[in-house]
Copies of this chain bind each other. A is one copy, B any other.
Amino acid sequence: MHDMFNAKSVAVIGASETKGKIGYDIMKSLLNYYKGEIVPVNPKGGKIHGLPAYTSIKEHGPVDLAVITIPSHIIPATVEECGETGIKNIVVISAGFKEVDEEGAKLENQLVEISKKYGIKLVGPNCLGIMNTYNNMNASFSSDIAHKGKISFMTQSGAIMAAILDYADKKNIGFSRIVSLGNKAVINENDCMKDFMEDENTNVITAYLEGIVDGQGFIEASKKASKKKPVLVIKSGRTSKGSEAVSSHTGTIAGSDSAYEAAFSQCGIIRVNSLDELMDYSSALALSPLPKGNKIAIITNAGGPAIMTTDVAIRKGLELAQLTCETRQTLKDGLPETASVKNPVDVLGDASPERYAFALETILEDPNVDGVIYLVTPQSVTDAEGIAQVAIEHAKKSEKPILCSFFGGTSFEGAEKLLAEEQVPNYLYPKRAVKSMKKLYDYSIIKEQEYPKAPEFNVDKVTVKNIIEDAKEKGMHTLGLESFDILKAYGIPTVGTAITTTVEDTVKAAEEIGYPLVMKIVSPQISHKSDVGGIKLNLNNADEVRAAYEDMMENIPKKEPEATLEGVQLQKMLSGGTEVIIGMVQDPAFGPMLMFGLGGIYVEVLKDVKFAIAPVNDIEAEEMISGIKTHELLEGARGDNPKDVEAILDIILRISKLVTDFPEINEFEINPLMVFDEGEGALAVDMRLMLKEGKSSDLLQPSERSMKLKSSH
C-alpha cells in the first residue's frame, strides 16, 4: 500500500460543490492540507472548488489514487474504468454493499472480481477513507487531518476513527497512517499490518477489529510485525462458534474468544480492551525507549500517591528498583533531611524543579533502575510547568523511559499542555502511567521472542487418510477407540487395547497386550456396563480372561436380552499415571485450535486449560503446558514425582501436525492421556475424532482458504 499512501495525485470520483454531499466533504478534506494534484471527477464537468472537473476518469487518465463517492450501483463500472485507465489504488467510501442486502453483496463481489482482474488495491467499500499525515493526505470524511505522529491505526468502525481523532486532537496525540477498513472486500487487516510494519514513520501499529478475514495469514503477518514494532489490537464483538454441535470437552470449554486470546498471545500482539488503554499504551510505545527490565523507580512530591503507585506497580508485575548505596548517598547529600531516599524517592511537598531535576538525574544513573515514574501532585508551592520542563529535558536524552503522572486538575493545565506539545507521555492517574510502563516492558520481551517453525515428524499419512476415507464412505462422523491406528500412525503411544469377538481371539490378544487387563463388553445398547457385569478388572492370566469372557457372554443376555453383544474390549490396566487431555476444535477464523489441560475435575470444574492455534512450534507447545494454573501438579507438587512433560510436549506437536495435515478433522480429543513419571512416557487411553459434516468441497484447508483470499488482491 506504499503507493496508495504516497499518492502524488488523487482523483475524487463523485466530487461535488453541494454541501452535505460526501463528494463535497472529501474534496474539502483534501484541499485543506494536501499538496499533490487533486482531480475532481463529475459527469457534469465544470469547476469544483475552483478546480477543473473531468467528466470521467478516462478523460483525465491515470492517478495514484482514486476516491469513489458515487452511488453503489454504478461503482463496479467505475472501478472497471479505473482499471482500464491503469489506476491501481482505490478507496470506496460509499455504502450500499454487503452491509445492506443480497443485492449489495453481489455488487461487492463484482468489486472483488474487477480488482482481481486489474490488480487493484481497494479499501472499503463503506468506509471513512484513509490518511497519511506525512504527505498531508486526508482522503477521508474527517474534516481535520490528524496531528503528525508515530502511531498507525486501522479500524473496522468509522465512528471509532472519528472519536479517536477528536480525542487525539484534544490530547495532541499524533498519527502516521490511518485506514478505515470498511467491508474489507479486498484490502484487509493483514495488508495494513504489512504496510504499517514497513512504514518508516510508524513506530506503533494499532487496530480496532471486529473480525479477522484470514486467521492464519493474520498470525503470520503479526509475528513478523510484532518483532519490528509493537502491535496493539482491540478485538471487539463476540464471535459465534461454528454451528456444528460440539461433543468433546475441548469443544465445550473453548469459548468464542479463546481463539483470539490464543492467537494474539502466540504472535506477540498486545491485546487491549478499551480505547483509553489503546491511547495510553500506544503513546508510551510511540515516544519512549524500552526498559531493559521491569525495575522501576518512582519520584514523587507526596507519600500517599507514591504508595498507591507502588501497589499498582507490584500488582501489574513490575518491581520497585532497589537503589544502590551510592544513589541513596547522593540523594541523601543533595535532598532535604526529611526526604525519602529509598524508592519511591519522596522529594517532599515543597520540591522545586531543581530538586526534581537533581533526583531524576541521580536515579537515571542508577544501574538498578530500568524506568522512572515521574509523579507530581499539586501542592501550594508546586511550580508545575518548571517540573514538567525537567521531565521534558530528560525524556529527550534518556535511554530509560520516563513516564509522567501530573496528578491534579486545574492547576496542572499548563504543565499538561507543555508535556503534550513536547511529546512526553503524561497520565492523569499514576495507575495509567504504571500500566503503560508495564506494556513497554512487555514489548521489550515480545521483541526478543523467537518463532521457530513447527517441527517435522516422520508420520504415516497414508494410514490416516485411509481410515478417514473409509469412515466417510461408511457415513461415520465420529471415530473412537477403534481408530487408535490414527495415533499410532503419528507416533503417539497408545495403551495396549484390542476389540475381539471370540474367546480364542480374546485370549490371544490378552497374551499380546500383557497383564493385568480390564475387559469391557462392547454393545451399542448397554451404556451402564458395570450394572450388568460388563466390566471385569484385574485379569491376570489367560484363564481369568477366558472365564471373564464366558461369564459375560452367558450372563449379560440374561439381564439384557435385547442387547446385541458385539464382542469385548481388552485394555491394559494402568497405574500411577496422571490424566491429561489434549484436544482440538476448528475455529471459524483461525482454523485448528489445540487445547491442553489436566483431566477430570481440572478440566470439568476448574476449566484450567490452555489453547493455541495449530500448527504450534516447540515454544508454543511448551507454553500450553506451563500455562495452565495447575502445571505444578506435573512438576511433582506435594512430594509426587515429576511427570514426563517431554512426552506430553512431543504428543502435542504430533497432534498439531495431525490436525494440520487433515483439515477435515473437525474435533479431536485424547482423553485421557496417562502421563507417567519423568522418562516413563505417556499413553493415550481413549480418543474421539469428529469429521466435518457436509460435502468435502466445503472443506477448504486453512492454507487453501488464505490462498483463495490472497489471490483476490
Q: Give A contacts to B, CB under 8 Å.
A: 25, 100, 141, 143, 155-160, 162-163, 165-171, 208, 210, 234, 236-238, 273-276, 301-305, 307-308, 310-312, 314-315, 338, 349, 377-380, 407-413, 428-429, 431-432, 600-601, 604-606, 629-630, 632-633, 637-638
Q: Is the CB of B638 within 8 A of A302?
A: no
Report the separation of the CA atoms of residues A637 and B413 in the bound assembly, to the nearest whole angstrom: 58
Q: Is the CB of A236 within 8 A of B167?
A: no
Q: Is the CB of B311 within 8 A of A236?
A: yes
Of B171, B236, B428, B630, which is within 8 A of A276 by CB? B428
Q: Is the CB of B302 within 8 A of A157?
A: yes
Report the separation of the CA atoms of residues A236 and B302 in the bound assembly, to the nearest whole angstrom: 14
Q: Which residues of B contact A633 (CB under 8 A)?
A: 601, 605
Of B100, B163, B301, B431, which is within 8 A of A407 by CB? B163
A sample of 20 cross-chain residue pairs with beta-carbon separation below 8 angstroms, ordered by A number, consists of A157-B304, A158-B304, A159-B302, A159-B349, A160-B302, A160-B304, A160-B308, A160-B377, A169-B409, A169-B410, A170-B409, A170-B410, A170-B413, A208-B304, A238-B311, A273-B315, A274-B429, A274-B431, A275-B429, A276-B428
Q: Is the CB of B210 within 8 A of A304?
A: yes
Report the separation of the CA atoms of residues A275 and B162 in the bound assembly, to the nearest whole angstrom: 28
Least Cβ distance of A411 to chain B in Å?
5
Nearest residue (CB) in B for A301 is B159
Q: Is the CB of B410 within 8 A of A166?
A: yes
Least Cβ distance of A58 to chain B in Å?
31
Report the separation of the CA atoms of residues A268 and B143 in the bound assembly, to the nearest whole angstrom: 50
Report the separation of the CA atoms of residues A428 and B378 in the bound assembly, to the nearest whole angstrom: 23
Q: Which residues of B contact A168 (CB under 8 A)?
A: 409
Nearest residue (CB) in B for A157 is B304
Report the separation of the CA atoms of residues A170 and B412 in the bound assembly, to the nearest whole angstrom: 10
Report the separation of the CA atoms of residues A109 and B293 in the bound assembly, to the nearest whole angstrom: 45
Q: Is the CB of A274 within 8 A of B237?
A: no
Q: Is the CB of B159 within 8 A of A304?
A: yes
Q: Which residues of B contact A165 (CB under 8 A)?
A: 409
Report the separation of the CA atoms of residues A349 and B163 in the bound assembly, to the nearest whole angstrom: 12
In this complex, the member of A155, A170, A409, A606 whose beta carbon has the largest number of chain B beta carbons within 10 angstroms is: A409
Q: A237-B311, A349-B159 are in contact. Are A166 and B412 (CB under 8 A)?
A: yes
Report the separation of the CA atoms of residues A408 and B301 in the bound assembly, to the nearest whole angstrom: 32
Q: Which residues of B contact A379 (CB under 8 A)?
A: 159, 162
Report the separation of the CA atoms of residues A169 and B410 in the bound assembly, to the nearest whole angstrom: 6
Nearest residue (CB) in B for A413 is B170
Q: Which residues of B contact A629 (CB under 8 A)?
A: 606
Q: Is the CB of B159 within 8 A of A236?
A: no
Of B171, B412, B413, which is within 8 A of A409 by CB? B171
> What are the nearest 4 A-B pairs in CB distance?
A157-B304, A159-B302, A170-B409, A167-B409
Q: A162-B378, A632-B605 are in contact. Are A312 and B273 (CB under 8 A)?
A: yes
Least Cβ distance of A585 to chain B in Å?
22
Least Cβ distance of A158 to chain B in Å?
7
Q: Is the CB of B428 within 8 A of A158?
A: no
Of B25, B236, B315, which is within 8 A of A307 by CB? B236
Q: Is the CB of B236 within 8 A of A304?
A: yes
Least Cβ distance of A25 to chain B in Å?
7
Of B170, B234, B308, B407, which is within 8 A of A234 by CB? B308
Report the separation of the CA atoms of residues A201 and B279 in the bound assembly, to the nearest whole angstrom: 38
Q: Is the CB of B166 within 8 A of A431?
A: no
Report the separation of the CA atoms of residues A398 and B190 in the bound assembly, to the nearest whole angstrom: 47
Report the separation of the CA atoms of residues A169 and B378 in the bound assembly, to the nearest whole angstrom: 13
Q: Is the CB of B166 within 8 A of A408?
A: yes
Nearest residue (CB) in B for A427 is B276
In this complex, the member of A171, A413, A428 whose beta carbon has the largest number of chain B beta carbons within 10 angstroms is: A428
Q: Which residues of B contact A305 (CB under 8 A)?
A: 157, 159-160, 163
Report the separation of the CA atoms of residues A56 and B210 in the bound assembly, to the nearest whole angstrom: 72
Report the separation of the CA atoms of residues A637 and B601 in the bound assembly, to the nearest whole angstrom: 8
Q: Which residues of B contact A412 (CB under 8 A)?
A: 166
Report the separation of the CA atoms of residues A408 and B170 in the bound assembly, to the nearest whole angstrom: 9
Q: A274-B431, A380-B25, A411-B166 are in contact. Are A304 and B606 (CB under 8 A)?
A: no
Of B100, B276, B606, B637, which is within 8 A of A431 by CB? B276
Nearest residue (CB) in B for A637 is B605
Q: Which residues of B contact A159 (CB under 8 A)?
A: 301-305, 349, 377, 379
Report the separation of the CA atoms of residues A378 and B637 in the bound assembly, to the nearest whole angstrom: 56
Q: Which residues of B contact A208 (CB under 8 A)?
A: 304
Nearest residue (CB) in B for A429 is B276
Q: Is the CB of B637 within 8 A of A428?
A: no
Q: Which residues of B contact A637 (CB under 8 A)?
A: 601, 604-605
Seed contacts A160-B302, A171-B409, A605-B633; 17 additional CB < 8 Å A-B pairs: A158-B302, A159-B302, A159-B305, A160-B308, A163-B408, A165-B409, A166-B378, A166-B408, A169-B410, A170-B410, A210-B307, A234-B308, A236-B311, A237-B311, A276-B429, A601-B638, A605-B630
Report the separation of the CA atoms of residues A503 and B285 in the bound assembly, to the nearest whole angstrom: 77
Q: Which residues of B contact A302 (CB under 8 A)?
A: 157-160, 162-163
Least Cβ distance of A607 to chain B in Å?
10
Q: A304-B158, A311-B238 are in contact. Are A273 and B409 (CB under 8 A)?
A: no
Q: Which residues of B contact A141 (CB under 8 A)?
A: 380
Q: Is the CB of B380 within 8 A of A143?
A: yes
Least Cβ distance of A508 to chain B in Å?
35
Q: Which residues of B contact A162 (CB under 8 A)?
A: 302, 377-379, 408
Nearest residue (CB) in B for A405 is B163
Q: Which residues of B contact A308 (CB under 8 A)?
A: 160, 234, 236, 274-275
Q: Which residues of B contact A275 (CB under 8 A)?
A: 308, 407, 429, 431
In this complex, the member of A100, A307, A349, A637 whose beta carbon has the largest number of chain B beta carbons within 10 angstroms is: A307
Report the separation of the CA atoms of residues A601 and B155 in the bound assembly, to the nearest whole angstrom: 46
Least Cβ distance of A627 to chain B in Å?
15
